[in-house]
């Protein structure tokens, strides 16, 4: 999971993605509007639930929670550092602050979701 989050954050940290976030916050969610944005989020949850379901079946992560919800719980909090620190004018300190918040979240998330078998 840390590698997955690292790849997502690397993408979000790129100058192009940061410009997109700034435009999104300033001008709205694009041609699809909020419905399009919601559909994209739901599509991502659908796709990402598959590896989580496999990890649940293997006993590596808690199976008492729906895999799709686990995806939400991993990624929804990542929006805070993204919106606060990964904007078009982000300085190196912003990128560092985002990384610290993400690292703290991933450590906490793993402490909650991993089973003893995954240790």
- Model pLDDT for residues 62-109, shown as the tens digit of each residue: 999 999 999 999 999 998 998 889 888 899 999 999 999 999 999 999
- Model pLDDT for residues 29-74, shown as the tens digit of each residue: 666 766 777 888 899 999 999 999 999 999 999 999 999 999 999 9
Tell me the C-alpha distance between 94 and 87, whole Å: 9
Q: What pLDDT does residue 72 have?
A: 95
- First and final CA of the chain: distance in angstroms? 13
- Put simply, whether the predicted model's pTM sits higher than 0.85 gets the answer no
């Amino acid at each position: 999971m840390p590698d997955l989050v690292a790849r997502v954050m690397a993408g979000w940290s790129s100058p192009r993605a940061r410009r997109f976030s700034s435009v999104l916050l300033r001008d709205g969610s694009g041609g699809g509007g909020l419905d399009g944005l919601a559909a994209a989020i739901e599509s991502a949850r659908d796709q990402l639930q598959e590896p989580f379901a496999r990890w649940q079946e293997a006993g590596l992560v808690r199976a008492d929670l729906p895999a799709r919800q686990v995806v939400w719980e991993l990624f929804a909090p990542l929006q805070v550092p993204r919106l606060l620190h990964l904007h078009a004018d982000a300085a190196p300190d912003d990128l560092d602050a985002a990384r610290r918040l993400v690292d703290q979240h991933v450590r906490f998330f793993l402490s909650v979701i991993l089973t003893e078998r995954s240790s």
